[in-house]
Amino acid sequence: MGGDEGLVVRKIRHGTVIDHIPAGRALRVLRLLGATLGGGRRIAIVINAESRKLGRKDIVKIEGLEPRVEDLDRIALVAPTATVNIVRDYRVVVKRKVEPPAEVRGILRCANPTCITRKPGEPVTPRFRLVSRDPLEYQCVYCGSILGEREIVEQLGGPAPL
Ligand code: CTP
Ligand code: ZN
């Protein structure tokens, strides 16, 4: 039975519930989904809900949207613990844990200022390989620098909104 962890937020009829987001990162998840969301959609955000597994968690409910696989991969980078539930006719029809992609191209920036991917006028697309899931760590394919979860979250979601 899915509870709403003490705060009354209605069940949705059709759409997506992104659950088990690390506490405080809901707005970053929404920012990442920005272009996909479009305007006029009904969205519920719960920040710092109680969670048995995580202590605290955030939840995002988006009416009328079923995200694409690329979107889920990006969500995994800021919310590696998230579960994505697709809801149709009030029922959860798909429940999937997000999966940090084995390789990331072009979304992240290498932290090493002398890396070839940061040379001005050098059109080398940054590439990173997943080296750890928890905590999340990616390694630059070109210079070997490690990008940690905190830097990844900041690069993709901007500074902490809360
Ligand atoms: N949910 C919703 N609207 C629905 C169905 C589910 O908003 N029509 C929400 C629930 O409130 C919950 C999430 O979607 O936050 C997942 O629902 P469910 O699988 O029923 O809950 P749990 O079994 O608690 O999920 P998990 O095992 O992933 O924690
Ligand atoms: Zn590099």
Task: Give per-residue pLDDT as tens, 70-109.
Answer: 788 789 999 999 999 999 999 999 999 999 999 999 889 9
Evaluate: CB of 58 within 6 angstroms of ligand 1. Answer: no
Mutate to test the pocket of ligand 1, among 7, 8, 50, 85 (most ligand atoms within 8 A of CB): 85
How would CATH label the architecture of 103-157? Roll (2.30)
Distance CA 58, CA 50 (A): 9
Evaluate: CB of 12 within 6 angstroms of ligand 1. Answer: yes
What's the pLDDT at 23?
92
What's the pLDDT at 48?
92
Candidates 45, 85, 91, 95; CA nearest to 65 is 85
What's the pLDDT at 4?
47
**85 alpha carbon to ligand 1 midpoint, in Å?**
7
What's the pLDDT at 162?
53
What's the pLDDT at 102?
95
- Using CA positions, which residue lies closest to atom 4 of ligand 1? 11
Total-model pTM: 0.86
Domain assignments of the chain as residue spans, ordered by start = 15-97, 103-157
**2 alpha carbon to ligand 1 midpoint, in Å?**
4
Determine the topology of domain 15-97 in CATH: Alpha-Beta Plaits (3.30.70)
Distance CA 134, CA 136 (A): 5
Point out the residues of the chain with pLDDT beneath 50.
1-2, 4
Q: How many CA atoms lie within 13 A of 49 on its CB side?
A: 24
Mutate to test the pocket of ligand 1, among 13, 19, 43, 81 (most ligand atoms within 8 A of CB): 19
Evaluate: CB of 81 within 6 angstroms of ligand 1. Answer: no
What's the pLDDT at 51?
87
Q: Which residue, chain included where needed, has tokens 């830097």?
A: 151
What number of H helices and E strands is found in the chain? 3, 9
What ligand 1 atom has the least distance to the C-alpha of 4?
11
